[in-house]
């Protein structure tokens, strides 16, 4: 049995598919790997590079190690308050997709930007379904104000012009498409692939996206680039993403340096530069409220993360002591 370097191309319910570059196998993690895991995010995720025992027959491969990640998109697992989830790893560019009809939401975009910045990937905002919007330029302007320095692309599946997206999809580079259900991620990926590989579905009349992608998957394009499709996210909870929030709201962070008090909460303190910007109209009150909300949510998640990490470490140490005691009795 050979041990080689492979990449995780899909994951569903503890079963992985990994690629050696020339072949694909189903895989599970080894018992030793599982024992050494400290947090959920230590497990392999789509986009990860791993070491794996690769049998020559049709048996499953066994993942034995994980290479360091250059980026890692983590959120609070949907429906829980006590666990993180790695959405994808080793992403170079994250396309944050938002449609120009029912899905357009600046506050949601700020949330996606915060998590993307924290992941280490470069964000690019893709505004889909531009053919359904009568004032595309004003929407682009709104996004640019909320995402200074981030490239904003407006596209439509009807005209088939994807050159602006393709300039990021280069040999050896990994891109991921993230966003709510029904915004056109799968349609866009199908256009890039040149085939209807991924099922698609529009946003419904109730303004709720329909989940079409049910699991994360890494696809290799003909030019040697890698594309990760992700299920639509109705929830994107913070998970210790303070650095990303600071970057996404760099304007507020910059203003805060001019506050009279170093621990200013930007609520009622005298000499608050942030509140002064609200008064003179240079800062949108809704943006400040979004910043506060994400900061509060993130602080709670970060405290919970540190508590869980300490708890796991404690039980791991108890297990080692018990194991040592059993050996001594033998």
Domain spans of the chain, in order of start: 2-66, 72-229, 242-310
CATH number of 242-310: 1.10.40.50
The H or E element spanning position 239 is: none
Reduced DSSP (H G I as helix, E B as strand, rest coil) percent helix, strand, coil of the chain, to 5: 35, 25, 40
pLDDT at 60 over 50: yes
- Tell which residue, 7, 41, 1, has the closest CA to residue 27: 7
pLDDT band of residue 204 (cuts 50, 70, 90) is very low
pTM higher than 0.85, yes or no? no
Could you give the angle at which helices 106-119 and 136-146 cross, rounded to 10 degrees?
Answer: 50
The tens digit of pLDDT for each residue in 70-92 reads: 999 998 876 655 678 899 999 99
Nearest alpha carbon to residue 89 among 218, 214, 235: 218
- Per-residue model confidence (pLDDT) at position 193: 78
Q: Which residues contact 276 (CB under 8 A, 6 or more apart)?
A: none
CATH topology of domain 72-229: Rossmann fold (3.40.50)
Q: What is the pLDDT of residues 119-131, one digit of tens each?
A: 999 999 999 988 8
Give tens-digit pLDDT for 91-109. Answer: 999 999 999 987 799 999 9
Same fold, 2-66 and 72-229: no
Class of 2-66 in CATH: mainly beta
> What is the pLDDT confidence band of residue 226, given thresholds at 50, 70 and 90?
very high
The strand pair at 15-19 and 2-12 is best described as antiparallel
Which tens digits make up the pLDDT trace of 228-278?
Answer: 988 766 667 777 788 999 999 999 999 999 999 999 999 999 999 999 999
Asked whether the predicted pLDDT for residue 314 surpasses 50, the reply is no
């Amino acid at each position: 049995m050979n041990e080689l370097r492979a990449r995780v191309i899909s994951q569903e319910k503890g079963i992985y598919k990994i690629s050696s570059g020339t072949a694909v196998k189903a895989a599970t993690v080894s018992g030793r790997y599982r024992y050494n895991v400290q947090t959920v995010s230590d497990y392999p995720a789509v986009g990860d590079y791993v070491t794996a025992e690769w049998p020559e027959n049709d048996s499953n491969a066994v993942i034995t190690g994980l290479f360091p990640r250059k980026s890692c998109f983590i959120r609070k697992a949907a429906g829980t308050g006590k666990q993180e989830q790695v959405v994808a790893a080793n992403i170079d560019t994250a396309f944050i997709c938002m449609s120009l009809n029912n899905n357009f939401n600046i506050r949601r975009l700020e949330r996606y930007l915060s998590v993307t910045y924290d992941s280490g990937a470069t964000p690019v905002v893709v505004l889909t379904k531009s053919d359904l919007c009568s004032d595309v330029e004003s929407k682009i302007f709104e996004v640019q104000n909320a995402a200074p320095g981030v490239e904003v692309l407006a596209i439509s599946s009807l005209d088939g012009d994807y050159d602006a997206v393709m300039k990021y999809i280069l040999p050896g580079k990994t891109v991921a498409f993230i966003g709510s259900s029904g915004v056109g991620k799968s349609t866009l990926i199908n256009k890039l692939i040149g085939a209807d590989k991924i099922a698609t579905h529009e946003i419904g009349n109730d303004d709720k996206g329909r989940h079409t992608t049910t699991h994360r998957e890494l696809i290799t394009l003909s030019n040697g680039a890698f594309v990760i499709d992700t299920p639509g996210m109705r929830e994107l909870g913070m998970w210790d993403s303070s650095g990303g929030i600071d970057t996404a709201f760099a304007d507020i962070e910059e203003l805060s340096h001019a506050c009279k008090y170093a621990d200013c909460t930007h609520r009622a303190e005298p000499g608050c530069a942030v509140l002064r910007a609200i008064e003179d109209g240079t800062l949108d009150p809704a943006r400040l409220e979004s910043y506060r909300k994400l900061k509060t949510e993130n602080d709670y998640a970060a405290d919970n993360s540190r508590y869980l990490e300490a708890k796991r470490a404690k039980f791991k140490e108890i297990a080692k002591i018990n194991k040592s005691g059993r050996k001594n009795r033998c």
